[in-house]
Amino acid sequence: MAVSLPDENFTLQATGRVARRQAVSRASKWVLLGASMIGVVVLFALMVDTIVVGWSRISWSFFTSYPSRFADQAGLRSSFIGSIWILSLTIVFVVPIAIATAIWIEEFAPKTRLLEFVKLNLANLAGVPSIIYGVLGLAVFVRLFGWGSSILAGSFTLFLMILPMTVIASQEAIRQVPPSLRQGSLALGATEWQTVWYHVLPGALPGIITGVILALARAAGETAALIMIGAFTFIAFDNTSIWDSFTTMPIQVYNWTVRPQEAFRQNAAAGILVLMTVVLTFNIAAAALRERFRN
């Protein structure tokens, strides 16, 4: 068989319109990269600055000391414990209620106008500024229910604040479960609840966990709503009951940043490092859990 020679008048190199389109395409990659880098660089700079300022303050005594008038004796003890109380209670409230709400909306609720109204409101509530939840918490939990500025009032406020976003994330996760699975289950004589329990929930769990953790990260960093309900106080004892007054790490950090002395700024930076580590740990735990449930 004869080998044909390359045709001199024929080229597979980009010319004309193709060349122009390829140039745009190549340029777009750089533009997109640049856009991404803005966020990364700013975040990185902030991190570095925080570490430089705060690292020297990280020590065991920083965790075991109560707040103090003296910067070098002040620590995170009460706010760390307060954060753990608040977040634990918030999880306990939000997980079952959010999942139940999402299941009801997606699987059981009759598709009526009322349901559309509820869904619309959920989306709106997820966008309400946290200070509004603080005002609500103050009026209802602190005053009306007479719970005072307690851990219970704080966690209820945060629970209400993150409920909409958790419900919405859970709804998304539930919608991802293919309808064919539900049909397969129902066609075998499973009830709707059995179908939800054995197929929809396990399928949606990775997404639900992600949603809950992201919402919790927001709750962990929340300051305004808690200050609103009166958590901005000097706590020099370990919380032991849901009726205790409390403070949390972001409030403590805020507390330190408003002090004029340089030494308190260092405390604040160290507090931020701890807070970021906690949130990061949440996210890693979420990823690990998600992978486990995926298999």
Partner 1 sequence: MSEAPPTTPPTEAAPVHEGTATPRPTMSRKSVGASQRTAPDRFTPPEPPALEVRDLSVYYGKKMALSGVSMQIPVKKITALIGPSGCGKSTLLRSLNRMNDLIPGARITGAVDYHGHNLYGNSVDPVEVRRRIGMVFQKPNPFPKSIFENVAFGARVNGYKGDYNELVERSLRQAALWDEVKDDLKKSGLALSGGQQQRLCIARALAVEPEIILMDEPCSALDPIATLKIEELMRQLARDYTIVIVTHNMQQAARVSDYTGFFLAGEAAYGQLIEYGPTEEIFTTPMDPRTEDYITGRFG
Binding site for partner 1 (CB under 8 A): 111, 178, 180-191, 194, 198-199, 203
* Residue 130: CB minimum distance to partner 1, A: 37
* Residue 111: CB minimum distance to partner 1, A: 6
Q: Which residue has the tokens 């808690």?
A: 226
3-state secondary structure of 259: coil
Which residues are registered as beta bridge partners of 150? 245
* Residue 211: CB minimum distance to partner 1, A: 20
Q: Which is nearer to partner 1, 196 or 249 (CB)?
A: 196
Cα atoms found within 13 Å of the Cα of residue 83, Cβ hemisphere only: 25
Q: Which is nearer to partner 1, 165 or 209 (CB)?
A: 209
Closest CA to 161 of 222, 115, 209, 119: 222
The amino acid present at 101, given as its one-letter code, is T
Q: Which residue has the tokens 């707040």?
A: 67
Q: Which is nearer to partner 1, 89 or 205 (CB)?
A: 205
Phi-psi region of 189 (alpha: psi -120 to 50; beta: other; left: phi over 0): left
Q: Which is nearer to partner 1, 144 or 188 (CB)?
A: 188
Q: Which is nearer to partner 1, 38 or 188 (CB)?
A: 188
Tokens of 178: 């293919």
* Residue 192: CB minimum distance to partner 1, A: 9
* Residue 179: CB minimum distance to partner 1, A: 9
Q: How far apart are CA 231 and CA 52, in angstroms?
A: 29
Q: Which residue has the tokens 């949603």?
A: 211
